[in-house]
Amino acid sequence: MARVGRKNHELLPSFQRVTVDGNSWSSYLLSKGKVSMQKTLISVLFLMFSCLIGCSTPQEDKDDPALKAEKGREDSGEQPPETAIDGNRRHLESEAVLRQRVRAKSCEKFAKELTKLPHVAGSKRNAELATYLVNTLTQFGFQVERHVYEVLLPYPVHVEVEMVAPVAFSASLREEPTELDLDTSNKAVLPFNAYSPDCDLTAPVIYVNYGRREDFERLAALGIDCRGKIALTRYGRIFRGSKAKIAAEFGAAAMILFSDPADDGFVKGDVYPHGPFRPSTAVERGSILDISTYPGDPGTPGIPSLPGEDQLTFDQMKSLPNLPTTCISQADAKPLLENMKGSTVPDGWQGGIPITYHLGDASTVRLRLHLEMDYSLRLIENITATLNGLRCPDEVILIGNHRDAWVHGASDPGSGTSVLLEAARVLADAKEAGQGLDRTVRFAFWDAEEFGIIGSTEYGEQFAKELSKECVAYINIDSAVSGPNLRLAGVPTLARFAQDVLSSIANEGKPGSLVDPLLNEKGQMRYGTLGSGSDYTVFLERLGIDCIDIGSGGAHGVYHSSYDTYVFMKRFADPGFKQHKVMAGVLATMVSRLANSEILPFDFKRLGADLLQTQKRMEARYKNLDLSEIGELANHVTDVGTKINQAMVKLGSMNLNLETRLLLNRRIYQASRKLLLKNGLEERPWYKHALWAPHPDKGYGTEDLPTITDALLANDKNRAQDGATELVNVLRAYLNEIDGLRQHLERLTEQ
Ligand SMILES: [Zn+2]
């Protein structure tokens, strides 16, 4: 008999505040079979101690090249940006000094400590790393705070994938260690997909390619009924949580995800430890929480999960997936695929395992899937470190990365944490040397990002009011380095700023600047849009804070496996930690320039131009929809933005007093708050931004104009037109706001 569900015992008070010590992890490391996990009640004393001393990103398949292409959609046909318009050129010299202080060795030292042991969210090691960060940042001279939340984090207790017919086979779920990298023999978290329900079921298997909506539609067209079947799905192209959601819609009984060598294994190149690609036994762990409904703790949407906060019941948690799902390696997928019958797969569906893939039928391969999770509330801890601004202390530049990793996390997220620490170190040193920044800078080290962007979301929910008022911008790093190729995404208003920063930094050892490799033949910088999948989500999509996401990548296959280690980083991703140095230099420069700009370098013209492109694209696609008013408003935004830019150029050479600048800058960075929908999106009110949301079928990818697109995805034309009206109202308010800013600026230029 099939059994699917979750045991509710975790929500009883006696199971609250659970953490895991190193030994209990080891007990289910590299093991399958039933292991009971030690639960350690964290004493009230620990809690008090923690709070007193101040307590404790696809990538998103983020490294999936195809997914990145989706995210990193090239922007509009806009001209290359004008040159910098404010007085920040005077800071170029001090920025160069900052970069000279950045050390590759220092980044490596941080990386070594951060990646020494596996440190999944809620574990003892991750708490130790919080303390390491607190000590390190305090030594640098920062004011350090700990932010503790109590959130629902499922850990795997029992994971079993067993072929019962036509031959008996049991998936090993074991990632083979290698003597060339001793870290690979450390105890890793048993491969699992976080937030899968428990189950014990036996069903036939079918192959569903990448598990996208179009893949399931193709199967339906071929007459294949997915109902009651286990969907064998390869990773890639969309967020794994979206695959589980779509498969459930098509009636699947369960899903097994595997890493196909055509996507990141031997088909791409030599596998680890001889090359950077995925070895045959490597498994990609990962959450399947439905972050496009809402991210963060599933039990407390919209409010911070402070310890003791009431949680929703499982039935009420709309982000919890319903489909039992787990992940296996290529080596464990092979025997299943070998035994599957039915028709051969359609064009483009054949993967890289050297056998012919079949779709499967109802009678040959039957699998038993047995999953048991420990759904407990556990403590997580964000660390923030603040360097107060000398002249505008109430304006805050926020920059952050997550600390928790599925295993060692050298690339994801260790590289991000290392470069963030190094940037923090040089900025603190500069302040010590008398070169403090005008604005306040806050470095954030989020927890439980891997489970569902939890730490940053809870923080954003807790400090919504303060952030809305003070936060100038948020810069996100996740996997800062997994290769040498810089990638950049963000809101349109910060595109010119980002391009300006990169073009002011020489590309060491090569001609030109860091921006050059990002330019297309027309001289436009590749600059992706933001959907979700990392810690910028709450700041952009709920609080309307302008964000940039930056990192540098390369082709590899260690994502979310035991092989993303220090040795992997040193041998393949970043020999000599040179790219870490580049990234720390870029971050220090970005932060410094934003913190010292006399007039904040936001570009409203670009937002208008990008919006017009989006409107044209949607109108061409959905012929019956009247979006003309949105087009007109986009043109107005462009016009007003152009005038604002002109006025900013004039003002750049004028001496404004501090009070005037404060007033002006507040209007500049708070303008984006006007892009928020008062009540959020109809079907997912946690999301409030009128221009962008994560795509419900892709998870990480961006959905443009979601008041309209959500309705179109639900095939509701009338609601789509209402959504257009709602957007028009938001855009009018926004236009009104920036036009007021234009008048303000022009008045100042006339003085
Ligand atoms: Zn990450």
Tokens of 357: 């893939």
382 in helix, strand or coil? strand
Q: Is 400 helix (H, G, I), strand (E, B) or coil?
A: strand
Q: What is the pLDDT of residues 404-461, one digit of tens each?
A: 999 999 999 999 999 999 999 999 999 999 999 999 999 999 999 999 999 999 999 9
Catalytic one among 36, 43, 343, 628? Answer: 628
| CA 744 to chain centroid | 37
Q: What is the pLDDT of residues 188-203, one digit of tens each?
A: 999 999 999 999 999 9
Q: For the segment 63-107, what is each residue's pLDDT rounded down to a tens digit?
A: 433 343 334 333 333 343 344 444 455 678 899 999 999 999 999
Is 628 in the active site?
yes
Q: Would you state the pLDDT for residue 134? A: 98
20: pLDDT strictly greater than 70: no
Q: 583 CA distance to ligand 1 centroid (A)?
A: 16
Rounded to an integer, the average pLDDT of 623-645 is: 96
pLDDT of residue 23: 31
pLDDT for residue 701:
87
The Cα-based distances of 546 to 394, 454, 707 in angstroms read 17, 20, 20
pLDDT at 508: 87
Q: In whole angstroms, what is the distance from residue 518 CA to residue 747 CA?
A: 38
Question: Region 173-178: what's the mean pLDDT?
Answer: 96
pLDDT category of residue 623 using cuts at 50, 70 and 90:
confident
User: Strands 485-490 and 230-234: what pairing?
Assistant: unpaired
55: its two tokens: 């307590």
pLDDT digits (tens, 9 = 90+) for 252-295: 999 999 999 999 999 999 999 999 999 999 999 999 999 999 99
What was the pLDDT predicted at 564? Answer: 97
Distance 301 CA to ligand 1 centre (A): 21
The predicted pLDDT at position 3 comes to 67
pTM: 0.90
Ligand 1: centre distance to CA 414 (Å): 9
76 is annotated as an active-site residue? no
Shortest CA distance to 630 belongs to which of 734, 552, 724, 742?
724
Summarize pLDDT for 685-721 with one digit per residue, the tens.
999 999 999 999 888 889 999 999 999 999 999 999 9
Q: How far is the CA of 533 from the centre of ligand 1 (A)?
A: 8
Active site (annotated) includes residue 56: no
Cβ(165)–Cβ(365) below 8 Å:
yes
pLDDT score, position 91: 78
- Interatomic CA distance for residues 401 and 411, integer angstroms: 12
Average pLDDT taken over every residue of the chain: 89
Q: Which two tokens stand for residue 229?
A: 């079947």
From the list 471, 422, 377, 445, the residue with the least C-alpha distance to 669 is: 471
Q: How far is the CA of 582 from the centre of ligand 1 (A)?
A: 19
Contact of 558 with 408, CB cutoff 8 Å: no
Whether the pLDDT of residue 740 is over 50: the answer is: yes
From 592, 689, 695, 737, the catalytic residue: 689
Indicate which residue of 10, 449, 461, 703 is catalytic. Answer: 449
534 alpha carbon to ligand 1 midpoint, in Å? 7
Q: Beta partners for 277?
A: 271
Closest by CA to 18, choosing from 119, 122, 121, is 122
Q: Give the integer Cα–Cα distance in Å for 647 and 739.
A: 12
Q: Judge whether residue 316 has pLDDT over 60.
A: yes
Residue 247 Cα to ligand 1 middle (Å): 25
CA of 260 to the centre of ligand 1 (A): 21
Which of the four pLDDT bands, split at 50, 70 and 90, describes residue 655? confident
Question: Tokens 């700023």, residue?
Answer: 497
- Average pLDDT for residues 502-509, to the nearest whole number? 93
- For residue 324, whether the previous peptide bond is cis, meaning omega lies within 30 degrees of 0, is no
Rounded to the nearest 10 degrees, the angle between the axes of helix 578-596 and helix 104-114 is 100
Which residues, including other chains, have CB under 8 Å from residue 593's CB and lie 6 or more apart? 88, 91, 95, 497, 500, 501, 601
**Range 40-43 contact pairs with CB under 8 angstroms and sequence separation of 24 or more:** 41/17, 42/17, 42/18, 42/379
The sign of the torsion formed by the CA atoms of 607, 609, 611, 617 equals negative
What average pLDDT does range 465-485 have in this prediction? Answer: 97
pLDDT above 60 for 494: yes
Domains and CATH numbers, the chain: 69-151+379-596 (3.40.630.10), 152-376 (3.50.30.30), 604-750 (1.20.930.40)
